[in-house]
């Protein structure tokens, strides 16, 4: 862990701030007066980002906590450190994401893209729920590609499963949306909110190199990082969404209907229970059986 001593500024916890949307959000939250807690796998890269932010905002409280979302043990250690040092948390932004171009398994034995994009953020969110401020906001970075996703829960821990990178990424983003909706039901009646979003197609390290190279020919279909951060910042800072929860926002900050699979409550609950089992955690709340209108 690095950074100055904790301050009295409102705390925003962000995963994946070494590049792209996460870096832009860290900058804007520092400008807005937040105490930033950057959760990053690559600590030296995070230190460089922190130095750059401090050059523009020398008084900003900016901290770094190591977190490898592909390792459940790392997520647990990170959550313990964050809860001990930085509660209450007013913003939790699950921003980090990746896609593996070949079939790889995490250290815990789960397909790597799913482990990093869903299981890590799921566990982090559950472990930090007790450290959230009463009016906290949780923001999950999803993607429009979730419309093409299908859950294959029986294949997540299968090292011999058939693998396609595009489908693995779509499945993980579908899981992000389903997680958001299922969590919103569990938070019903509280002031804590949770929403997810599609940031647009952003010229970041997640895009194939060849597509990044032709970005000028495709603009405005491909956003730069500044434009790609707009919806995340809207959900983080705008008072207009203060009481909105369980929604999927597009790159224009508009609420959209998620895919039919994402809105399926039985599917959401199957994913939730499987995630609890895989992460070896007990449920915090029981979801109501009544049909949800949040999705």
State how far the Cα of 120 lies from the Cα of 117, in Å rounded to an integer.
Answer: 7
Long-range contacts of 26-33 (CB under 8 A, 24+ apart): 26/53, 26/62, 27/53, 27/56, 27/57, 28/229, 28/233, 28/237, 29/91, 29/236, 29/237, 30/56, 30/57, 30/60, 30/62, 31/57, 32/237, 33/9
Cis before residue 61, ω within 30 degrees of 0? no
Residues involved in catalysis: 169
Which whole-number Å values give the CA distances from 48 to 7, 17, 82, in the listed order? 21, 11, 21
Question: What are the backbone dihedrals phi and psi of residue 146, each rounded to the nearest 5 degrees, phi first?
Answer: -60, -25
Pair of tokens at residue 26: 């860290």
């Amino acid at each position: 862990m690095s950074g100055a001593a904790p301050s009295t500024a409102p705390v925003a916890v962000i995963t994946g701030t070494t590049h792209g949307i996460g870096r832009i959000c860290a900058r804007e939250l520092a400008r807005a007066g937040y105490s930033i807690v950057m959760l990053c796998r690559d600590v030296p890269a995070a230190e460089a980002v922190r130095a750059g932010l401090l050059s523009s905002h020398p008084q900003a409280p900016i901290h770094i906590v190591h977190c490898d979302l592909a390792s459940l043990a790392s997520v647990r250690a990170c959550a313990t450190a964050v809860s001990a040092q930085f509660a209450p948390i007013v913003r939790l932004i699950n921003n980090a994401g990746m896609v593996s171009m070949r079939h790889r398994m995490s250290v815990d034995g789960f397909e790597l893209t799913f482990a990093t994009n869903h299981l890590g953020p799921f566990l982090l969110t559950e472990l930090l729920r007790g450290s959230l401020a009463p009016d906290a906001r949780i923001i999950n970075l999803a993607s429009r590609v979730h419309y093409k996703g299908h859950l294959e829960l029986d294949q997540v821990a299968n090292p011999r499963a058939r693998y396609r990178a595009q489908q693995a990424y779509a499945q993980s983003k579908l899981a992000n949306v389903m997680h958001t909706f299922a969590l919103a039901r569990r938070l019903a009646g509280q002031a804590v909110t949770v929403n997810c979003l599609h940031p647009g197609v952003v010229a970041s390290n997640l895009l194939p190199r060849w597509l990044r190279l032709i970005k000028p020919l495709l603009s405005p279909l491909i956003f730069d990082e500044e434009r790609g951060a707009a919806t995340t910042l809207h959900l983080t800072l705008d008072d207009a969404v203060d009481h909105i929860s369980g929604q999927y926002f597009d790159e224009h900050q508009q609420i959209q209907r998620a895919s039919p699979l994402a809105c399926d409550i039985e599917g959401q609950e199957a994913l939730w229970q499987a995630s609890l089992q895989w992460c070896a955690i007990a449920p915090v709340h029981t979801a109501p059986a009544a049909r949800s209108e949040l999705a």
